[in-house]
Amino acid sequence: MPKLIINGHEIEVAAGASVLQACEQMGIEVPHFCYHDKLSVPASCRMCLVEVEKTPKPVASCGLPAADGMVVHTDSPMVLKARRGVMELLLINHPLDCPICDQGGECDLQDQAVAYGSDHSRYAEAKRAVADKELGPIVKTVMTRCIHCTRCVRFADEIAGTPELGGVFRGEHLEIGNFGGGPLTSELSGNLVDVCPVGALTSKPYAFRARPWELQKTESVDVMDAVGCNIRIDTRGNEVMRILPRLNDDINEAWINDKTRHACDGLKLQRLDQPYMRVDGKLRPASWPEAFAAIAARLKTASAERVAALAGDLVDCESMFALKQLMLALEVPHLDCRQDGATYDMTARAGYIFNSGIAGIEQADAILLIGTNPRHEGTLVNARIRKRWLRGGLRVASIGAAADLTYPHRRIGGSPSAIRDLINGRDAFAKTLLAAKNPMVIVGAGALARPDGAALQALARELAEKFNMVRPDWNGFNVLQRAASRVGGLDIGFVPQAYGLGTRGILEAASSGKMEVVYLLGADEIDMDRLGNAFVIYQGHHGDKGAHRADVILPGAAYTEKDGIYVNTEGRPQLAKQATFPPGEAREDWKIIRALSETVGKTLPYDTLTQLRARLIEACPVIGAMGRLTKAEWKPFGHAGQVAVQPFEPVIANFYMTDPISRVSPTMAKCVTEIQRRDVPEAAE
């Protein structure tokens, strides 16, 4: 570990760290543009110059490895003069349009120009102008502002794996862009706006809508998939203006996908802002007491055997827990939080979570994907696999539908028989798995949500054990869940109770008239036609499929409007925080269930969220480990049985629209028309 002296203080840093990182470790700010923590280092902007004793000239600290005995100055007159020079050069062609620039107030160049810029320009010549580029519905460009740091090019190359950006022409004529190549096809393109240190790439949906200093910032968690990306919700008044990523190296690093970032404009549309009741076949506005009374009346006449409850994909743990308790009090056995109809075994927690953790992907050296397209089902999991692949020495194979995953992988087969072949050593990848130090299997909803999911789960466990994926120091058996509420729901036990029916059974019974009341807690992804004549209660925040079928609508809160615990696919509980208030008469979901419980005469024993959480954590201690991973005990799970021969199907047909929020989002609609429609003719070629 090299020891060096920076501004007179000695510091020891990790081997391979750069001088810039050493400075940051000491809390010394070094201005920079091209350098980014998570990207390769080109050392091209020259803003991070420092003085190193015994070198004749200032050195770019981002590209200089810290070495033993180095004596570095970051505040000498030489450094100041050098940085001023660099800043003057950068500003030669940069327009003076900060007042009309969306980056204003959160611009690296603006901030650093305050520290190192001159009060006037010595440049009298005409500034160069660069034509703007069309990069699709997410990224807006004003290329004249570009300072050629190439962060966007490196991001697209390295993280996104869609090398569509580059620098064309040269010298004075150099332009960053896509050379007229159409919209960016990455699901991570919104991050380009974050990495751009100036206002060249800004957010198109957010263009000219707010200034950073007007915004309230709330640190929360994303619910668009089961990855549980850490986000910051920026609000003005009661409106979510934008969503940005929050650094969490265990989960999403510095990135989020475009749905996480931009589906938030769907929070303002088609909202359920007051209770509704179906009267004479039509939904009419109602008051809360009326709605509750109608539900209580139905629940009183229906026998518990003929009542069911389903929880959707965006539901927080607290409301699922409260609803489960209410249903148990009513002696209702038919509960399920797996609205995709999955029937896999959930008695062992290790059987339904991502045991290695997302960061654990970086230790893997062979990965087998079964029935999953991680690019769509957990974009940041896919980005992590790509990151691992870039480092070299990773082999990936997939059993499932063919897909472009942004890294090379061998498709062994499309149907479950390929798993058996692998276990029997009939495929070359078996050797790779046997030789691997940390082999990993990732099982997706494409496998587990099938009717034979439990058998496939057992088969995957057999494979994991056969290839030594489960050891005291390593658990490479991973399930990539695709719904934010899923692991929490399974942990709470929002699943069929003794003799109860699961999603498939509930729908079966309802369509044949054997189910009188169905309670949908934000469940929209089921076939509503199969609910038959059942009395449907829909509690949720959007007027989506569930609300259209409902007989009573209880308006709930979306994820930005309530405090809630979500457990991600790794089994990591995280707190989502309230950033705005639910619209109109809508309320937090647990409160609705608590109020309803009183009306039906089974009052739940808590009056505050804190009391509810205490009960929840008492019943389910793993959820108490906020932000941490709890190692799941490895024990047999899954049910050995017949596996069907059909090939695995992709579970997400349209990445941009997977839930009630993204389905109404205008930005997501634009992504579908401008990005996906463009893909179709290409695929046909």
Partner 1 sequence: MSAAGQAKEDFTFTPENLSRAKTIIAKYPEGRQQSAVLPLLDLAQRQNANWLPRAAMDYVAALLDMPPMRVYEVATFYTMFNLAPVGANLVQVCRTTPCWLRGSDDITRTCCQKLGVGLGETTADGKFTVKEVECLGACANAPMVQINDDFYEDLTPESMAKLIDDLAEGRKPSVGSQTGRRGSCAQDGATTLRGKTS
CB atoms within 10 A of CB 575: 15
- Least distance between partner 1 and beta carbon 680 (Å): 19
- Write the CB contacts of 485 (distance below 8 Å, at least 6 apart in sequence): 223, 311, 312, 313, 314, 315, 316, 317, 320, 337, 522, 566
CB of 179 to partner 1, least distance (A): 4
Please say which residue, 123 or 169, places its beta carbon nearer to partner 1.
Answer: 169
Q: How far is the CB of 32 from partner 1 (least distance, A)?
A: 24
Minimum distance between the CB of residue 256 and partner 1, rounded to whole angstroms? 24
164 binds partner 1 (CB under 8 A): yes
User: Is residue 65 a contact point for partner 1 (CB under 8 A)?
Assistant: no
Binding mask 622-661 for partner 1 (x = CB under 8 A): ----------------------------------------
Radius of gyration of the chain (CA): 27
d(CA 224, CA 661): 9
484 binds partner 1 (CB under 8 A): no
One-letter amino acid for residue 32 of the chain: H
CA 211 → CA 87, 143, 219, 271, 290, distances in Å?
25, 21, 18, 26, 43
Does 180 interact with partner 1 (rule: CB under 8 A)? Answer: yes
Q: Under rule CB under 8 A, how many of the chain's residues touch partner 1?
A: 15
Q: Which is nearer to partner 1, 181 or 333 (CB)?
A: 181
- Please say which residue, 112 or 178, places its beta carbon nearer to partner 1: 178
DSSP letter assigned to residue 351? G
Q: Decide if residue 282 touches partner 1 (CB under 8 A).
A: no
DSSP tag of 18: B
Given the structure tokens 């009395």, which residue do they identify? 535
The answer to whether 317 and 567 have CB atoms below 8 angstroms apart is yes
Q: How far is the CB of 373 from partner 1 (least distance, A)?
A: 21
- Is there binding between residue 189 and partner 1 (CB under 8 A)? no
Q: Which stretch binds partner 1 (CB under 8 A): 162-170, 219-227, 571-579, 667-675?
A: 162-170
Tell me if 181 contacts partner 1 by CB under 8 A: yes
Nearer to partner 1, 164 or 524 (CB): 164
Nearest distance from residue 182's CB to partner 1, in Å? 10
Q: How far is CA 555 from CA 260, 271, 352, 535, in A?
A: 23, 8, 31, 17
String of DSSP letters for 621-660: GGGGSTT---PPPP---S---PPP-SPPPPS-S-TT--SH
User: Which among 13-21, 176-184, 300-308, 592-600 is the span making contact with partner 1, rule CB under 8 A?
Assistant: 176-184
Residue 152 lies near partner 1 (rule: CB under 8 A):
no
In three-state form (DSSP H/G/I as H, E/B as E, the rest C), the secondary structure along 60-101 is EHHHCECCCCCEEECCCHHHHHHHHHHHHHHHHCCCCCHHHC
Taking CB under 8 A as the rule, does residue 131 contact partner 1? yes
Q: Does 123 bind partner 1 (CB under 8 A)?
A: no
**Member of 170, 207, 645, 684 binding partner 1 (CB under 8 A):** 170
Beta pairing, strands 9-12 & 3-6: antiparallel
Q: Please give the residue ranges that form the binding site for partner 1 (CB under 8 A).
A: 131, 163-170, 175, 177-181
